Each structure stands twice: as C-alpha cells, then as structure tokens.
C-alpha cells in the first residue's frame, strides 16, 4: 500500500468517525431540548447554530 493509499484510508476512517460523533451529538441535542432545555442553550453548549437545532427538531 502506498503512502497515498494509506493516507486516503486514514482520511476515510476519520470522516466516518466524525459522522458518527455528529450523529450522536445531534441526538443528544434533540433529547436535551425535549427534556426542557431551550433551543438556544442546547445550540450554545453543542457549538452549533440555533437554526440547526430547529432543523433537527423539524421546525424548519
């Protein structure tokens, strides 16, 4: 396996891990809002835009 192939494989794995982490974060944000946290507070704590929170909640 060349250096390029190895780096490409590493990059793909990193993207997969990032996608999984993002999905878990989004699920936690939705749960927090449904448990009573404000959309703004959930967005601030998660480091995402408030409109992203609204989109996740289907309020777009």
- Interval 34-44: pLDDT, tens: 999 999 999 99
Please answer whether residues 29 and 23 qualify as being in contact, where contact means their C-beta atoms are separated by less than 8 angstroms: no
In this structure, what DSSP letter does residue 48 have? S
Say how far apart CA 15 and CA 24 lie, in whole Å.
14
10-16, Cβ contacts within 8 angstroms, sequence gap of 24 or more:
none
pLDDT band at 60 (very low <50, low <70, confident <90, very high): confident
pLDDT at 1 over 90: no
In this structure, what DSSP letter does residue 2 have? -
pLDDT for position 25: 98
Q: What are phi and psi of 33, to 5 degrees?
A: -65, -40
pLDDT at 46 over 90: yes
Prediction pTM value:
0.85
């Amino acid at each position: 396996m060349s250096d390029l192939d190895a780096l490409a494989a590493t990059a793909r794995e990193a993207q997969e891990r990032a996608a999984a982490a993002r999905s878990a974060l989004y699920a936690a944000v939705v749960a927090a809002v449904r448990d009573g946290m404000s959309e703004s507070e959930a967005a601030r704590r998660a480091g995402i835009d408030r409109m992203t929170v609204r989109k996740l909640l289907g309020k777009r």
